[in-house]
A = this chain, B = another copy of it.
Amino acid sequence: MRNVAVIGYGVVGSGTVELFEKNRGDICKKIGRDCDIKYICDLRDFPGDKYEDRLVKDFNVILNDPEIEVVAEVVGGATFAYDYTKKLLSAGKSVVTSNKELVALHGAELLELAKAHNCNYLFEASVGGGIPIIRPLNKCLAGNKIEQISGILNGTTNFILTKMIREQLDFDTALKMAQELGYAEADPTADVEGHDACRKICILASLAFGKHVYPQYVHCSGISRITPDDVEYAENAGYVIKLIGTAKPAGEGHITAIVCPRLVPKSSLLSNVDDVYNAISVTGDGSGDVLFYGRGAGKLPTASAVVGDIIDCLKHKGRIIMIGWDDCNEKDYVVPYKTQETNMYIRVKAADAESLKPAVSELFGKVVYLERNGRPDDELAFITPKMPEQETDEHLAVLSQNAEIASKIRLM
């Protein structure tokens, strides 16, 4: 039976077709009936492609074919993909996707739509590429109250930071290397400014805490202002700098969610997650800390998650698999990040930096000063005690009358 379609024949789409066809014998056995890819939808031509006879340009061919049960939407973006997904789900066809943007923006609506039409909307590939995380969080850990999720959710920035840490490169050089290797796009904004990681923490937080978390309410800062000096200070104090997405309950039905670079202690497993790898740590009230690690992106790892979702949809035709989440219109569901307590790494510049120390002590209390090789006289770096970030900022405003605040990075 040719009951599967793939929309978008780019990197993930071609990986999905490749992996599905390679393992189709086993897949049919797992499902207990025959299955195959009937259509691959893309506006481009692929002359000579192995699956050229399955290529169609008109989405409606898929929508109107009653044989199609499951569609892999690997187009990306939230325009066409949104329209296609709504139409398919409304027609009772399950949709599986790697499209984190769409899930982060419209997940609650699309899950509801799937439920109303007795089909599934699955998105294992939207977070962590080939790493199983959506189903474990939604199913295996369903008996827990989730106390925290933190993760390295973006491979591009993790590669850049790894190069900055291991080879003492500056950000621009490391970014260029990532681009040359195909790990970063020509316009790297979505990755390096943390927007990609932000979408992913939104999806995880929605799953874990049961209400949709919209990206616009989540504070997000990237890694482009991190310097080799920051990396060295951190290293000497037993930390590495990683871009971390975090979400946790904040009491009274609220949560905190934030994406930002953090000083991660070397004793943490997350500090050992290097290069393009991702890792997600989940703390449950029963499970304790569990960690999921693997390739967070790439053609076949992402395809692995997409194909796993296709199999689950085919196996469970006409049955809702996922535990969904509610939509959320409360603007203050995600509490302002500045109310949260954190230790902060601060680097300041001033003509005679040493002379700032009394003022630093008066403002922050007992700080820990950090060192680096050949630290210049006009520089001071320290870690503050834990305090609400609002308070840290007020102190920094005072300090900035006599010094330039060069860096401010949260601790994990």
Contacts and interface: CB of A to CB of B under 8 A. Distances in A.
A22 interface: yes
A265 interface: no
Interface string A58-101: 00000000000000000000000000000000000000000000
A364 interface: no
A23 B269 CA distance: 28
B310 A143 contact: yes
A303 to B, nearest CB: 5
A160 interface: no
A354 interface: no
A132 B143 contact: no
Nearest to A319: B319
B30 A308 contact: no
A190 interface: no
A54 interface: no
A286 interface: yes
Interface residues of A, number: 54
Contacts of A136: 132, 135-136, 140
B289 A291 contact: no
A154 to B, nearest CB: 17
A20 interface: yes
Given A272-B272, A285-B22, A292 B290 contact: yes
Contacts of A23: 143-145, 285
Contacts of A135: 132, 135-136, 139-140
A26 B308 contact: no
B291 A293 contact: yes
Contact of A287 (B27, B134, B295, B311): B295
Interface string A101-141: 00000000000000000000000100000111011100111
A307 interface: yes
B294 A289 contact: yes
A316 interface: yes
A404 interface: no
Contact of A143 (B134, B142, B311): B311
Contacts of A143: 19-20, 23, 27, 303-304, 306-308, 310-311
Interface string A1-42: 000000000000001000110110011011000000000000
23 contacts: A15-B286, A22-B145, A23-B144, A30-B323, A131-B290, A132-B140, A132-B141, A139-B308, A140-B308, A141-B308, A143-B304, A143-B306, A143-B310, A144-B304, A144-B307, A269-B272, A272-B272, A286-B300, A288-B294, A291-B291, A291-B293, A291-B294, A292-B293
Given A131-B290, A144-B308, 8 more contacts: A15-B286, A131-B287, A132-B132, A132-B136, A139-B308, A142-B308, A284-B304, A291-B293
> Nearest 8 pairs between A and B by C-beta?
A143-B307, A286-B304, A132-B140, A290-B294, A132-B136, A130-B287, A287-B304, A291-B293
Interface of A: 15, 19-20, 22-23, 26-27, 29-30, 124, 130-132, 134-136, 139-145, 210, 269, 272, 284-295, 298, 300-301, 303-308, 310-312, 315-316, 319, 323
